[in-house]
């Protein structure tokens, strides 16, 4: 089970995702324009399986000790490279550094896992995320193309 993160800034704190957070997280992702696959990789069952894996850290920012989730980030690694995905922040709290705090928490965990290369995947047209990651020191590599093979469109 992922350990809780003790990053605090005022009332906001970053901690491990709990499956009870699932509906709110899906709402945040939808509001942030992140593509959802509720019948595939984003189903409650799939997310519950993912958070049990040793190479996955799913973090949420919460308003207070038991308040609502207001931000998310998903960190994974393949043993060679760390990946940061699913960064989302409640629209009312954007431009206050919460996204950067979430990315740093993901980076810290990936560093503790021995990852020296960090990467993120951002969908074309998501200019907000591109600006956030560029401001955090990430470089766009237009010479790299992403290919995927899927069992079916819902995954």
pLDDT in tens, 64-121: 877 899 999 999 999 999 999 999 999 999 989 999 999 999 999 999 999 999 999 8
Q: Look up the pTM and report it.
A: 0.87
Name, in order, each residue with C-beta under 8 angstroms of 11's C-beta and a sequence gap of 6 or more. 63, 64, 67
CATH homologous superfamily of 7-135 equals Gcn5-related N-acetyltransferase (GNAT) (3.40.630.30)
Residues 89-128 as b/e (b if ≥16 CB within 10 A, e otherwise) read: bbeeeeeeebbebbbebbbebbeeeebeebebebeeebeb
What values do phi and psi take at 149, rounded to 5?
A: -125, 120
pLDDT in tens, 16-67: 999 999 999 999 999 988 989 999 999 999 999 999 999 999 999 998 877 8
């Amino acid at each position: 089970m992922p350990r809780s993160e003790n990053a605090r800034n005022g009332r906001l704190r970053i901690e491990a995702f709990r499956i009870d957070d699932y509906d709110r997280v899906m709402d945040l992702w939808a509001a942030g324009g992140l593509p959802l696959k509720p019948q595939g990789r984003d189903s409650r069952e799939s997310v519950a399986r993912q958070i049990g894996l040793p190479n996955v850290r799913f973090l949420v920012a919460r308003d207070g000790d038991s308040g609502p989730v207001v931000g998310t980030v998903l960190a994974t690694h393949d043993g060679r490279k760390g990946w940061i995905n699913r960064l989302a922040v409640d629209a009312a709290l954007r431009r206050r550094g919460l996204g950067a705090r979430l990315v740093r928490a993901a980076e810290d965990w990936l560093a503790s896992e021995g990852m020296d290369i960090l990467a993120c995947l951002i969908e074309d047209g998501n200019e907000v995320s591109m600006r956030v990651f560029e401001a955090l020191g990430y470089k766009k590599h237009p010479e790299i193309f992403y290919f995927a093979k899927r069992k079916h469109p819902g995954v």
